Chain A
Amino acid sequence: MPVFVAGLGAISGIGNNVAECLHSLQESRHGIAPMVYLQSEHRNRLPVAEVKLSNSELAQLTGLPVHISRTALLSLVAAKEAFLDAGLPSGFPCRKAFVSANSVGGMDKTENFFPAFAANHEAGHLREVIHHECGAISEIVAKELGVTDFVSTISTACSSSANAIFYGARLIKNDLADVVIAGGCDSLTKFTLNGFNTLMILDENPCQPFDENRRGLNLGEGAGYIVLVSEKIAGMLHRMPKAVLSGYANANDAYHQTASSPDGTGSFLAMTGALKMAGLHPEEIDYINLHGTGTQNNDIAEGTAIQRIFSNPYPLMSSTKSFTGHTLGACGGLEAVFSVLSLQHGIVFPNLRLETPMKELPFTPVTRFKSGISLQHVMSNSFGFGGNCSSLIFSKS
């Protein structure tokens, strides 16, 4: 039973909607820069890919109050765009679900609350902690979207939104929903910035995924959602679906809480699992949107797993984290949007700043924007802490 992609929505460091993100991708314009909105002690040292809007601008854009978590603001912008893009007639009778992901919920507000609270447990504004839970963020957005039938939240670190997308697809396949808005969001927080900083995997310059001399990742923020519909609903829409979600899989590396195994066991199993579900041979994949964080460990593990599955001629590959930074709970959603855009327009985005290919790998990611390519199947990888590895495959519908 096929599940179709009917709508796309995105906001990231390279644009406030899908069209702007696409334009930046085509122009090779990345969004990594010194911090403007995040008030961190590391602001002069660590560049990030912030969404180029303040909370009050985002509040204006969404109609939500300005004191709401930035994570919810970003989520609503992209989820609403995706929902409108799907073009469901209003009052259309169907069961709607919202399955979202994020890694730290309303932490941006909790960390504002905390200094006063730490000094005196009776101090600090309670409205800053009411949306601390990951699920609270999803409910703010679901309410604005008018989705009440089914709302859920997944949090498996950096693979969260890939998992949310295919949980959504499974709700449709199991006849529990007809239309699912699925993806994820995260805003930059001091909590995550400092967390990654203690792991010593943040690059002080714009990151260089899959480069021999890569130094680490840049954090980013944003939200990305796709609207999944059943075959029946797809047939009732005025527009052709954008793609089919033809394969997906999740597997666990079971090697280390934060590091990937040297042979990329988890990523290997996720990619082969997705291929099996789609009924595809490796050579049928035309483009892989890599997880490609730019850390020593991820890129060699992912590269090794790819080398084990694919052979020459390798599919085209690139990490769009060289544009958006690593958006954590949002990256699976954003990169799903980019993968579908790639299929739709026959384009492949460059892996920016790649200077020296990794010597261990027999392939090199794409370094220049490519257009006019016939693409049938695109794979998107998302791997996270706890060895959580997920791959999605989008195919032409």
Chain B
Amino acid sequence: MYICGTGIISPQPSFGHGPFLEEMAEHRGEEMRCIEPEYKDLLDPKLIRRMSRIIRFGTAAAMDCLKEAGWNSTDAIITGTAYGCLEDTGVFLSRLVEFKEQMLTPTAFIQSTHNTIGAQIGLSLKCHSYNNTFVHRAFSFEHALLDAWMLFKEGQADNALVGAADEITGYSQAIIRRFGIYRKCESNFTLFEKGQKGTMAGEGASFFALQKQAGGKEYAKIDAIKTLLLENPAAGTMETEIQLFLSAHSVSITDLDLVLLGYNGDFSHDAALHHLASGMFEDSITSGFKQYCGEYPTSSAFALWMAANICKNNSLPSSMGGIGLEGFVRVLIYNVDLLGHHSLILVSSC
């Protein structure tokens, strides 16, 4: 499938198709929140007021993606979100507790539903087509992509708007912090400093206009997607799985120009990834991506946006060294989280 438009709101100045990661925006502390654009040109001002942050940045990213693709409708709207609309969930829950189940209003409850963003996009486009939402942790985005891939194969759709969104809230940070997952970073520039424990939380919304056939506007092509649920895989398991994945699509390790790896800055989490980088991927350029977007379950969607732009530009962004890549470009994204969700996405230039 071909990526012929993107829309992204992230902790980087990524919105609106300006320069591609020329400089890395700096974030301090234990979280990286989105740099949000002015919404009033993108969304109905009456709606904006009522929307929580994730619905705002999710819907706006989707609208910007459609604008770039030049679509006013689509055959499918498929969203991935691991946590759903946390802010609205927190609002409704705290009022429920505070007011002892009395005098509640419905807005936060309605908007807390996991498919709110997908529904909101459908509603604003008056789009009656297929609309689905995947909520499976760090596979949410990958399973949304897989859904589009199946729809194309089945002849049920020629194009699809596929994206992911997750948000940081005060409550989510306060809870996840207690699991000892985060560290207060001096800066995301030093997220990957050696020997550190903990990561920085991230968030964002990334949408992709996908087409079954090339149409002349493509950034890149998604060649394959795979998810693997493996807690603490034995040594060598991931090497074998990655080899199998690549060879199933007639790609060899040496064909990979760039491998984007899901390092998050925590030394124990990153150890296995370092091992791959210096082992099977030693002849490819390898890089992290969470120094830009932070750690969150649908961060692979941010990585796909990076890969798509790298394929389109035939070079790495200047914040990554600006190296030019010759000719046909192949990028492998390998993301993994603490719970054993491994995902592989293979992207190539068109």
Give the interface of A toward B (CB within 8 A). Answer: 40-42, 103, 105, 110-111, 114-115, 117-118, 121-122, 126, 129, 133-136, 138-139, 142, 148, 150-157, 163, 167, 170-171, 173-174, 176, 190-191, 194-195, 197-199, 250-258, 265-266, 269, 384-388
Contact = CB atoms under 8 A, between A and B. Distances in A.
Given A121-B174, A133-B137, A103 B128 contact: no
Given A103-B113, A115-B97, A258-B110, 4 more contacts: A155-B84, A155-B133, A156-B118, A171-B150
- 5 closest A-B pairs by beta carbon, nearest first, are A386-B119, A195-B109, A155-B114, A198-B106, A135-B137
B98 A252 contact: no
B101 interface: yes
Contacts of B132: 154, 156, 163, 167, 250
Given A153-B134, A385-B113, A252 B127 contact: yes
B153 interface: yes
A152 B153 CA distance: 20
A172 to B, nearest CB: 11
A148 B139 CA distance: 13
B131 A152 contact: no
A60 B30 CA distance: 41
Contacts of A194: 92, 96, 101, 104, 109
A41 B123 contact: no
Interface string B154-180: 100000000000000001001100110
B137 A388 contact: no
Contacts of B94: 114, 118
Given A190-B101, A195-B106, A250-B131, A388 B96 contact: no
A117 B176 CA distance: 13
B128 A153 contact: no
B96 A111 contact: yes
A153 B123 CA distance: 23
Contacts of A167: 132, 147
Contacts, number: 175
24 contacts: A41-B102, A105-B135, A117-B175, A134-B135, A135-B136, A151-B136, A154-B134, A155-B115, A156-B115, A157-B114, A167-B147, A170-B150, A173-B150, A174-B154, A191-B89, A191-B92, A195-B109, A252-B127, A252-B130, A253-B128, A254-B123, A257-B110, A386-B119, A386-B131
B82 interface: yes
B84 A387 contact: no
B53 interface: no
A386 B128 contact: no
Given A40-B101, A134-B135, A110 B119 contact: no
Nearest to B111: A257
Contacts of A256: 123
Pick from B77, B112, B120, B126 the residue with the most CB of A within 10 Å.
Answer: B112
Contacts of B175: 117, 126, 129
Given A252-B122, A386-B118, A114 B133 contact: no
Contacts of B133: 154-156
Contacts of B179: 126
B227 interface: yes
A251 B109 contact: no
A151 B134 CA distance: 11
Contacts of A105: 135
Nearest to B116: A386
A297 to B, nearest CB: 14
B330 interface: no
Contacts of A42: 101
Contacts of B83: 133
A50 to B, nearest CB: 17
Nearest to B147: A167
Contact of A251 (B84, B89, B129): B129
Contacts of B122: 252, 254, 386-387
B27 interface: no
Contacts of B92: 191, 194-195
B105 interface: yes
A269 B119 CA distance: 16
Contacts of B137: 133, 135-136, 139, 153
Nearest to A167: B147
Contacts of B109: 191, 194-195, 198-199
Contacts of A148: 229-230
Nearest to B76: A250
Contacts of A117: 171, 174-175
B244 to A, nearest CB: 14
A150 B96 contact: no
A134 B84 contact: yes
Nearest to B176: A129
Given A41-B101, A191-B93, A194-B104, A265 B135 contact: no
B116 A388 contact: no
A385 B119 contact: yes
Contacts of B174: 117, 121
Interface in B174-220: 174-175, 178-179
B152 to A, nearest CB: 10
B128 A252 contact: yes
A134 B129 contact: no
Given A122-B178, A135-B82, A251-B130, A257 B123 contact: yes
B135 A157 contact: no
Given A174-B153, A252-B122, A386 B115 contact: yes
Contact of A154 (B135, B146, B150, B171): B135
B43 interface: no
A384 B115 CA distance: 10
Interface in B65-103: 77, 82-84, 89, 92-94, 96-98, 100-102
